[in-house]
Amino acid sequence: MRKDLITGILVLLSHTLLAQTPDSILLSNYRPASVYKIPTTKITKAKFPVIDMHSHPYAPSVDELERWVRIMNQYNIEKTIILTYATGDRFDSLYQVYNQYSDRFEVWCGFDYSGYHEKGWSQKAVKELERCFKVGARGVGELGDKGTGLKYSHPSPAPDMHIDDSRMRPLIEKCGELGMPINIHVAEPIWMYNKQDSTNDGLMNGYKWRIDLTEPNILDHQELIQTLENAVEQNPGTTFIACHFANCSYDLSIVGDLLDKYPNFYADISARYGETAPIPRYMKEFYSRYQDRLLFGTDMGYEPIMYQVVFRILETEDEHFYQQDYFNYHWPLHGFGLSDEILKKVYYENAKKILD
């Protein structure tokens, strides 16, 4: 019996050792740890007051909502924008919950796409938008189109209708009249479009969110950016916020060109820290150039570690650190070391220009 036990242990150990060889370890299990003995910075709160322009109704209970407020206090978050993409009863119920802390949260609604193929839909949807505005919505979002149409919506999506569709024009114009900014997600990061093989340096995250361009009538990355530009150009009286750098982290000159051309266009930086932290020098220059048009956002819940990591990336010059829990890539992260002037604008002042 003892001999069998020893044999079993040896077999188990051999399998364990084999599993850790480069030829056998799974990419999904790769968890590198930095070996560099270099300065590190512990962030206890944002350096300046913050308005988080991109979050969602993550708190499932009143107790959790109260916990969120305590965490916001701890990390110097003055206000958080709750993007519900909801209308009707769902929007009303979410508004009631978060309006308990009306000085800390601002709740935005969505568009109601129900019956969008029917005659007169635009006028019907405008009425619901106006109703949500009267309830308390001060913006719209997050709209979302990953190629097959506007899909982020409660109660129903709008397959095959994109943001530049003529049916959308009355709603977008009404947003301009009411002073309601539109937050929109178009496309996905380029790793989701690239070949899902050993040449894709974002494979661990890219494969999970990969885009199938063989779907019928799907728009590719460039075509989706064009729909966004069309809508921004056609509606100069409405403020657009392209979240996640318009998913152009791989080539920020694309979103930079839009920022140069359209004064009614902004970009939020939410949930693209992992995609941009590998290129800190380029990012520092980009933030400097567009410091008046970039908006802070998170889009990753409200746990303290999340705030610590995103503030560390923006504020410090720390190098070569990992955070796989929030950024499912294999590469190390690096801080941008943004100046106080830029931080104040990105954290707070740019958002105030839109919200006031």
What is the per-residue pLDDT across 52-86, written as a single tens digit (0 to 9) for each? 999 999 998 999 999 999 999 999 999 999 999 99
Residue 23, amino acid? D
Tokens of 17: 């050792």
C-alpha–C-alpha distance, residues 214 and 143, integer Å? 23
Give the model's confidence band at 1: pLDDT under 50 very low, under 70 low, under 90 confident, else very high.
very low
- In 3D space, the residue among 174, 280, 294 whose CA is nearest the CA of residue 246 turns out to be 294
pLDDT for 23 beyond 90:
no
pLDDT for 327 equals 85
CA angle 224, 226, 228 (to 5 degrees): 75
pLDDT for 12 equals 53
- Contact between residue 197 and residue 128 where contact means Cβ atoms under 8 Å apart: no
pLDDT for 28 equals 82
| Mean pLDDT in residue range 244-257 | 98
pLDDT digits (tens, 9 = 90+) for 270-297: 999 999 999 999 999 999 999 999 999 9
pLDDT for 9 equals 58
For 275, the 3-state DSSP assignment is helix
pLDDT for 354 equals 96
Query: Which CATH number is associated with domain 50-355?
Result: 3.20.20.140
pLDDT for 29 beyond 90:
no
What DSSP string runs through 92-120? HHHHHHHGGGTTTEEEEB----TTTTSTT
C-alpha–C-alpha distance, residues 173 and 126, integer Å? 10
Q: Out of 25-34, 160-169, 261-270, which region has the weakest mean confidence (pLDDT)? A: 25-34
Give the model's confidence band at 326: pLDDT under 50 very low, under 70 low, under 90 confident, else very high.
confident
151: Cβ contacts below 8 Å, ≥ 6 apart: 144, 145, 157, 158, 159
- In 3D space, the residue among 143, 148, 144 whose CA is nearest the CA of residue 160 turns out to be 148
Per the listing, tokens 């209970």 go with: 61
For the chain, the structural domain boundaries read 50-355
| Mean pLDDT in residue range 73-102 | 97
pLDDT for 233 beyond 80:
yes
| Mean pLDDT in residue range 265-270 | 98
For 294, the 3-state DSSP assignment is strand
Bridge partners, 83 (sequence order)? 108
φ and ψ of 65, to 5 deg: -65, -40
Higher-pLDDT residue of 223 and 26 is 223
67: Cβ contacts below 8 Å, ≥ 6 apart: 59
C-alpha–C-alpha distance, residues 219 and 197, integer Å? 22
Helix/strand number for the chain, H first, E second: 13, 10
Higher-pLDDT residue of 276 and 2 is 276
Pairing of strands 182-186, 240-242: parallel
| Mean pLDDT in residue range 35-50 | 95
pLDDT digits (tens, 9 = 90+) for 119-150: 999 999 999 999 999 999 999 999 999 999 99
Instruction: Round the average pLDDT of the chain to a whole number and report it.
Output: 93
Higher-pLDDT residue of 110 and 22 is 110
pLDDT digits (tens, 9 = 90+) for 296-319: 999 999 999 999 999 999 999 999
pLDDT for 133 equals 98
Give the model's confidence band at 27: pLDDT under 50 very low, under 70 low, under 90 confident, else very high.
confident
